[in-house]
With several copies, the nearest count.
Chain A
Amino acid sequence: MNEERPEPAHRKDGCRLAEALLFASAEPLAEDFLQQRMPEGVAVGEVLAELVRAYDGHGVNLVRVGAGWAFRTAPDLAGRLRREVDVPRRLSRAAVETIAIIAYHQPATRAEIEEIRGVVPGRGTMDMLFELGWIRPHGRRETPGRPLQWVTTEAFLDHFGLASLDDLPGLEELRASGLLDPVPEFGSDPEPEDNGG
């Protein structure tokens, strides 16, 4: 935005408006939402790219959060801002395991979570993650009982500073190692899906 190169006034106007909208909102704004507010002929994608560039290196950055965008303070300032604000409550170990399983295995059913953790999840755990807005129900597994499936939300991405689920730490290795595959049940029939681990 500081660039001196001439550009159509409406492009610059779009930039300023997007900047103000994003700045004013605590939550990520969907690209669609922003596009609807752009002046005639201005593609929000370009505007966002320009803003990302303009804020690069600043104390505040424009980041992608799933299908949305938000201004967030730069991660490297973490330690120096921390004491000014409340720290989110500590997550129980059960909650951490459960959110990890849902994040990496999604969509995941309760039975799968239970399977991996080896314990019946306490009622509070799922509800807490739900209350935090990190998980939501999404479709049903077409197996007997049609269990509800759970996926992570945009708020989850936002909280952990992930642009998309592909950015989950270590996702590639975990996939490659086969640890995200369904485990071969045995005792039941020898399943066709048998990942040699």
Chain B
Amino acid sequence: MNGGPERGDEGLLLSLDGYQGPIDVLLDLARRQEVDLVRISVLQLADQYLAFLAASPDLQRSADYLVMAAWLVWLKSRLLLPEDEEDEPVSAEEMAEVLRLRLRRLEAMQQAGQRLLDLPRLGRDRFARGMTDEVADIARTRHLATLRDLLRAYANRRMRQQDASLSIAPPRLHSVRDSATLLRRILGVSTRWHRLFEMVPAGTGGGLEIRSAIASLFAASLQLAGDGEVELRQDRPFGEIELRGTGRREEET
């Protein structure tokens, strides 16, 4: 392993050469404690780490830190905040255990990578036949193009095409205007409360289509409510939305 942190009294002097990212810092912190992670304070570790992030000039070069930082902030919040009734209570020890496992996993992969690099490598320690032209076409089709060539060619072509012109196939989406027409038609002949979801036309496809249908119905209902054509009600946050006609539209027209 190259470039561990300087062992300084300040405790957090990282050598930026070997420094790669969040878990590495944690690894360093953990090693530096020279105690089993389970026995040190996860909270303290999280604090030190976050303090490091805040202070490190190296931070600017990365959005990379987000993964680990987010995880740690979450970890810290679990320790500081009262537990949500629905969640399983997680003890600091369990957290330390999970953290320890993560660190060991990364460490294992760093070591595995190093062991790979130490193998006798082709082109450095072991060599293939140097002279291949004499019978070049034996396995020649292998050289025609690689998958990477193919993907790059496609990607670049598509990029250029997107720059030039973008044609989007008309998706099956429901417009607010159509939804308003639909609502008027139904609510004009009925005075009972209807649930918004009932209004989705039969035969509406799934996925984006149904989502667009619901969204347009909702938008249309707000619009009609604004115009006084319908009334809306909802019992509680995120509850069912219901609506009924007020009969005002007939009078106006």
Q: Tell me whether A117 and B139 are in contact in the complex, defined as CB-CB below 8 angstroms, given that A23-B129, A25-B129, A159-B122 are known contacts.
A: no
Residue of A nearest to B17 (CB): A93
Does B166 sit within 8 A of A, measured CB to CB? Answer: no
Interface residues of A in 12-43 (CB under 8 A from B): 20-21, 23-27, 29, 33
Residues of B within 8 A of A75 (CB): 120, 125-126
Residue of A nearest to B133 (CB): A26
A89 touches B140 (CB 8 A): yes
Stretch at the interface among A1-9, A45-53, A96-104: A96-104
A-B contact count (CB 8 A): 283
B148 touches A130 (CB 8 A): yes
A97 touches B157 (CB 8 A): yes
Does A88 sit within 8 A of B, measured CB to CB? Answer: yes
Interface residues of B in 90-132 (CB under 8 A from A): 90, 94-95, 97-98, 101-102, 104-106, 108-117, 119-132
Q: Tell me whether A119 and B21 are in contact in the complex, defined as CB-CB below 8 angstroms, given that A25-B132, A83-B138 are known contacts.
A: yes
Interface residues of A in 77-95 (CB under 8 A from B): 78-79, 81-83, 85-91, 93-95
Shortest C-beta distance, B131 to chain A (Å), equals 5
Interface size class of B (residues with CB under 8 A): 35 or more
Does A197 sit within 8 A of B, measured CB to CB? Answer: yes
A87 touches B104 (CB 8 A): no
Q: Tell me whether A184 and B129 are in contact in the complex, defined as CB-CB below 8 angstroms, given that A72-B134, A75-B120, A85-B140 are known contacts.
A: no
A160 touches B119 (CB 8 A): yes
Cα separation A160 to B65 with both chains bound (whole Å): 31
Q: Tell me whether A180 and B155 are in contact in the complex, defined as CB-CB below 8 angstroms, given that A116-B109, A160-B147 are known contacts.
A: yes
Interface residues of B in 32-53 (CB under 8 A from A): none
Shortest C-beta distance, A17 to chain B (Å), equals 11
A26 touches B129 (CB 8 A): yes
Does B158 sit within 8 A of A, measured CB to CB? Answer: yes
Cα separation A78 to B63 with both chains bound (whole Å): 41
Cβ-neighbour of B131 out of A26, A115, A186 (below 8 A) = A26
Nearest 4 Cβ contacts at the A-B interface: A118-B23, A78-B125, A24-B127, A100-B113
Interface residues of A (CB under 8 A from B): 20-21, 23-27, 29, 33, 70-75, 78-79, 81-83, 85-91, 93-97, 99-101, 103-104, 114-120, 122, 127, 130-133, 136-137, 158-162, 168-171, 174-175, 177, 179-180, 183-187, 190, 192-193, 197
